[in-house]
């Protein structure tokens, strides 16, 4: 946590450091935006960043720096915003998110945000990993033992979706079962609660509230508290814009109320 | 098709090749992400790409490689994801999509996804075309003879929209008629069925299901079968994320059912 | 206005000029897309750009070039489309938008479109400002006297939101009051009417019509006429795609009708 505090207190909004520049290096991951650069255009934005976002929001007690990092990284990947990824991938690693978890978040979001979003994140993460000498031995295996499955709940989900869409859309329905719920979600490199946190954050980040009910419920079943869920939305307001955060409020409120009964 | 198979089987997720680098070359189009790069961050994602996406989805019989290319290219342009465009523009050309059709897809999506999306795609396509020595003689003319118009259907559409929005929004209503339906949609460089496929794919890719009904119906009027439409959504799940694909299911299902009666 | 006419008449779709290239310069802001480049891929798109968009839409009498610039810049920032920012930031400055207003638009959209969108815009604006020798003395102060607040209206808004969401989501509700409505919206660097224009444009650009009612009403309270609002949507159709513009029509129409009574 000391490194996090140092990072948050540092003057650099987006951390700069000597990055190996080779022929295949992504241009995006070489982008560096210093605090001085922000000041040459918008001193007010620099001040809001320093006073409110880094100086206040990130330090609110409702959510750990590790959770905030996961939420932020998920939002940036979901919105394909490579410019801030180098800084926040680094902050995530400094906040206790393991390299294997960063890797798994990207893999997870290939399915929830689209393949190209994941590929853009790969290009940035590769440089961040190289810089920190994070090697293959720290990454999750491509395959291996899976977490146990709640067969009843999954059978129920599959039956419900199958009945509604199986006849007309056999392909996506089958992949949802085989690849998503019987494989991806059971990979042990990311705890189910964190995987849900990533999914909910990505949905809010993309304005996809229609599917938030299922995943917020799942996140809370997996251990996310109501107060944490509310704080996730507060945190995201800054990263995905107020309108996306506000659109999530009535949906989350309804879930909160239903779960109370 | 041999080249497609070769491309799909190749180790490179995003094809790399010597690209002329000049002062005005877009940085985005120089981006190269190799399979090795993906493995240094997420071996699991590399495996999903190889086993499921390229090794399985692209080979499903429900949709030709040419159609899948059109759908993928449209989704990437709609989502402004330049990082994967060089590879998929190349794959499209190898799958039987003509350079004139790539050109026309970009022009079409200027109107359906926004001008800047088209411009970002231009920057990539320029390099792909240059590399393959695709010259001006292979591009659709800026103007020329148009396809015949179904005057009754268009008069009906124009009357409906005009009555609803003509008084308050004369500008967009007029442009919709003059530029979109009496010009763009009648350009012969893209078959109406393919133009509809591009439009539907872009709408799903952007989560804009509200306007999907009209365009999916139009696509099916233009020859897209129900099984193909379902397979388009399955294919898109990987490229635009599961949530966008799943949001399209109830809309598509309703269209399928209405058309059966 | 002479410079605007010159800019619109110029052959360059995206203005190119010698840009200082230093180690921290963003790759995105170095992107240059000439009219010749567009022609090597899509002569039709070049013609639509020249004939319809720059030659016609921008000259329609319903909205000034300054307003169109504000709308376009807001849309590009909301959609994170850096490729066209250098040209349109320049066109905005040539159309009477002050550097302090560009700065403030970016700061405003950090809250309405997300922090990373603002940061991407900063990277481009920095180069545009440097090129035009726009210094710190032309930027809005980070803090200072605020515009007067309509306490009754704000108390009403805060009470309504607080009653609905205050208990479950104390964080975002507090920030909405303290940072957005009692600070950001009162900063004098952008007239309330222009700030509303930016907000409405960003909402339409992102397909977030759910929150358009409140902000379009506010924009019209702040002086935007109905005809101007309609023209904003016509203008945006080209920049954010027809589907987003068309989705805004029924919402705007309902506002127009309600305000007439």
Nearest CA in chain B to C229: B169
Nearest CA in chain A to C189: A44
Give the residue numbers spanning the domain of B237. 2-17+25-37+51-147+187-260
Which member of A115, A172, A179 has the closest CB to residue B245?
A172
State the total domains in chain B: 1
Express each pLDDT in A168-193 by its tens digit: 999 999 999 999 999 999 999 999 99
Rounded Cα gap, residues B43 and B45, in angstroms: 5
Residue B260 to chain A, least CA–CA distance (Å): 13
Q: What is the reported pLDDT for A261? A: 80
Nearest CA in chain C to A19: C23
ipTM of the complex: 0.90
Least confident of A127-141, B140-154, B190-204, C19-33: C19-33
Rounded Cα gap, residues B87 and C164, in angstroms: 49
Q: How would DSSP label each residue in B39-65?
A: HTT-HHHHHIIIIIIITTGGG-TTS-H
Residue A216 CB neighbours (<10 A): 28
- Interface contact flag, A123 B60, Cβ < 8 Å: no
- Interface contact flag, B113 C233, Cβ < 8 Å: no
Q: Is the pLDDT of residue A239 over 60?
A: yes
- A97 domain-assigned: yes
Q: What is the reported pLDDT for B4? A: 54
CATH of the domain at C191: 1.20.1290.10
> pLDDT averaged over consecutive 10-residue blocks of chain B (261 residues)?
49 34 33 83 97 96 97 98 96 98 98 98 97 97 97 96 98 98 98 98 95 96 97 98 98 97 80
Q: Read off the tokens for C140.
A: 């809005």
Torsion angles phi and psi, residue A187, rounded to 5: -65, 130
Rounded Cα gap, residues A196 and A181, in angstroms: 12
- Interface contact flag, C41 B80, Cβ < 8 Å: no
- Say whether C98 sits in a helix, a strand or coil: coil
Residue C8 to chain B, least CA–CA distance (Å): 16
Q: What residues contact C178, with CB distance under 8 A and at least 6 apart?
A: none
Rounded Cα gap, residues B101 and B45, in angstroms: 31
- A212 domain-assigned: yes
Q: What is the reported pLDDT for C261? A: 80
- Interface contact flag, C241 B106, Cβ < 8 Å: no
Residue A52 to chain B, least CA–CA distance (Å): 31
Nearest CA in chain C to B130: C40
Express each pLDDT in C220-261 by its tens digit: 999 999 999 999 999 999 999 999 999 999 999 999 999 998
- A169 domain-assigned: no
- C67 domain-assigned: yes
Nearest to C69 by CA among C91, C54, C84, C86: C91
Q: What is the reported pLDDT for B34? A: 85
Nearest to A33 by CA among B133, C123, C259: C123
Q: How would DSSP label each residue in C45-59?
A: HHHIIIIIIITTGGG
Q: What is the reported pLDDT for A30? A: 41
Q: How would DSSP label each residue in A46-96?
A: HHIIIIIIITTGGG-TTS-HHHHHHHHHHHHHHTT-GGGHHHHHHHHHHTT
> Looking at beta carbons, which residues of chain B come within 8 Å of C210?
none
Tell which wins on pLDDT, A25 or B231: B231
- B171 domain-assigned: no
CA B249 to chain centre: 19
Q: What residues contact B235, with CB distance under 8 A and at least 6 apart?
A: B57, B63, B68, B71, B72
Q: What pTM, to 2 d.p., does this model score?
A: 0.91
Which member of C27, C117, C210 has the closest CB to residue A31?
C27
Rounded Cα gap, residues C77 and B219, in angstroms: 32
- C155 domain-assigned: no
How deeply is B160 buried, as exposed, middle or buried, from its count of CB atoms within 10 A (0-12, 13-18, 19+)?
exposed
Q: Which chains touch A (3 or more CB pairs under 8 A)?
A: B, C
Q: Read off the tokens for A75.
A: 């939002």
User: What's the mean pLDDT in C89-105?
Assistant: 98
> Looking at beta carbons, which residues of chain A come within 8 Å of C175?
52, 234, 237
- Say whether A182 sits in a helix, a strand or coil: coil
Q: What is the reported pLDDT for C34? A: 86
Q: Give the residue ranges of DSSP H helices in chain C.
A: 2-9, 35-39, 43-47, 65-78, 85-94, 99-113, 115-131, 151-161, 170-175, 192-205, 212-221, 226-240, 242-260
Q: Is the pLDDT of residue C155 over 50?
A: yes
- C152 domain-assigned: no
- C176 domain-assigned: no
Nearest to B145 by CA among B192, B186, B116, B96: B186
Express each pLDDT in B77-109 by its tens digit: 999 999 999 999 999 999 999 999 999 999 999
Rounded Cα gap, residues C197 and C225, in angstroms: 11
> Looking at beta carbons, which residues of chain A come within 8 Å of B245?
172
pLDDT tier at C118, thresholds 50, 70, 90: very high
CA distances from C124 to B77, B220, C27, C195 (A): 22, 43, 9, 21
Contacts of residues C170-178 at CB distance under 8 Å and 24 or more positions apart, as own/partner, are C170/A230, C171/A60, C171/A62, C171/A230, C171/A231, C171/A233, C171/A234, C172/A230, C172/A233, C172/A234, C172/A237, C172/A245, C172/A246, C172/A249, C175/A52, C175/A234, C175/A237, C176/A242
Nearest CA in chain C to B164: C250
């Amino acid at each position: 946590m000391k490194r996090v505090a140092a990072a948050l207190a540092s003057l650099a909004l987006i951390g700069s450091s000597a990055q190996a520049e080779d022929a295949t290096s992504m241009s995006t991951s070489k982008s560096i935006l210093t605090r001085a650069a922000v000041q040459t255009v918008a001193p007010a934005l620099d001040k809001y960043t320093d006073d409110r976002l880094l100086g206040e929001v990130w330090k609110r007690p409702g959510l750990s720096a590790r959770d905030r990092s996961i939420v932020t990284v998920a939002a940036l990947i979901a919105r394909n915003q490579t410019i801030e990824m180098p800084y926040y991938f680094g902050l995530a690693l400094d906040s206790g998110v393991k390299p294997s978890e960063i890797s798994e978040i990207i893999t997870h979001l290939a399915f929830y945000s689209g393949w190209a979003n994941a590929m853009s994140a790969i290009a940035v993460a590769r440089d961040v990993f190289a810089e920190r000498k994070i090697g293959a031995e720290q990454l999750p295996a491509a395959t291996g033992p899976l977490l146990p499955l709640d067969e009843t709940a999954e059978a129920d989900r599959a039956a419900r979706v199958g009945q509604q869409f199986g006849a007309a859309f056999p392909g996506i329905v089958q992949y949802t079962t085989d690849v998503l719920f019987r494989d991806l979600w059971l990979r042990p490199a990311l705890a189910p609660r964190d995987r849900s946190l990533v999914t909910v954050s990505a949905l809010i980040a993309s304005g996809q509230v229609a599917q938030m009910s299922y995943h917020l419920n799942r996140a809370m079943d997996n251990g996310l508290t109501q107060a944490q869920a509310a704080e996730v939305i507060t945190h995201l307001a800054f990263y995905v814009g107020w309108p996306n955060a506000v659109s999530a409020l009535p949906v989350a409120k309804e879930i909160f109320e239903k779960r109370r009964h």
